[in-house]
Amino acid sequence: MMNSKTKRYNLSDSTIRLVEEEDQFDFLCEGFDSPRARMSCGHVVTPMSLTKWCEQLLKQGKSRFVCGQSGCDAEWSYREVCKMALLTPEERKNFETTMALNAAARDPNTKFCPGCMTPVTRGSSSDLYVCCQVCSAKTGRSFGFCWQCLREWKGQQPRSDRCENDDCHNSALKTLRECPEVQIELTGGVKGCPSVRACPTCGSLIQHTGIGCKNMKCPQCKMSFCFGCLKTGSCCGLCPGGIAPRQTSIPVWDGRLFHMGIDNYSCVYSNRKRNACVLC
């Protein structure tokens, strides 16, 4: 059974360019026990040294694989990395999960195509159907996937709510719809309020425990808003329009205010600061 310590190129594999040269990615001089092979950029690796280099790139927050040798900025395709690093199924799963998280951290409008793992940028925030040009060219037919469930598209398009794959739903909207209420103190009394709100600026989900001030500062975009009425800026005391109803859509960040740190649909932040205003 192959594992990361015994990965070796097969000498009879004619699709791999084996060479009698030094492993250029064995930075710690570990002497990996495998024949050497040449990457598409010309530099020489072993399966284990390539795996470790790519893991290091992922730890640095990268979602694409670049050679990194002096004077070489060649980008390797994920397909090439899988082949030349002899990635195991478990390694592929870890790589793909980290790649997706890293890509979302840098650009919330980019996700990986489920067919080829190529980064694809969403054209419209109101359409869940996304066409992958790489898969379309490879298959000879238009290949589209769902931005929401990340599976090959089923059903008519365009659509903004869901595709026709089973269990395709927006988990953020479900959270906003089903979250319990908390009691928010207002001038003149205490009123019930949804315990989770989407930041009116960037869409990040934020949870209020019912303890402390209703004024929030979004941990993502750093913009301040009132958890009760959802007005931006501080709103101490009475909310002029009362408590805003449950949100039925997620605000989309326009990219002008800050560099987003994570996918704004994947995390719920909590205001756990006791008896203090988060703006103070």
- The lowest-confidence range among 51-60, 103-112, 127-136, 261-270 is 261-270
pLDDT at position 121, please?
85
pLDDT at position 237, please?
62
Residue with tokens 């790489």: 134
- The lowest-confidence range among 46-55, 98-107, 110-119, 163-172 is 98-107
Residue at 279 is within a domain: no
Same domain, yes or no: 60 and 86: yes
Same domain, yes or no: 244 and 184: yes
Which residues constitute the domain of residue 208? 172-271
Mean residue pLDDT of the chain comes to 81
CA-closest candidate to residue 190, choices 169, 166, 214, 157: 214
Whether 22 shows a pLDDT value over 90: the answer reads yes
Whether 198 shows a pLDDT value over 70: the answer reads yes
- Of the two residues 46 and 148, the one the predictor is more confident about is 46
Using pLDDT thresholds of 50, 70 and 90, give the confidence band for residue 117: confident
pLDDT in tens, 250-276: 777 655 443 333 333 333 334 433 333
Residue at 280 is within a domain: no
Last residue of a domain, one of 33, 64, 94: 94
Contact 260, 204 (CB under 8 A): no
Contact 61, 106 (CB under 8 A): yes
Same domain, yes or no: 163 and 194: no
Same domain, yes or no: 161 and 180: no
Residue with tokens 């002029």: 240
Residue at 277 is within a domain: no
Contact 108, 261 (CB under 8 A): no
Last residue of a domain, one of 49, 72, 94: 94
Please, where are the H alpha helices in the chain?
Answer: 47-59, 78-84, 89-106, 133-139, 171-178
Residue at 85 is within a domain: yes
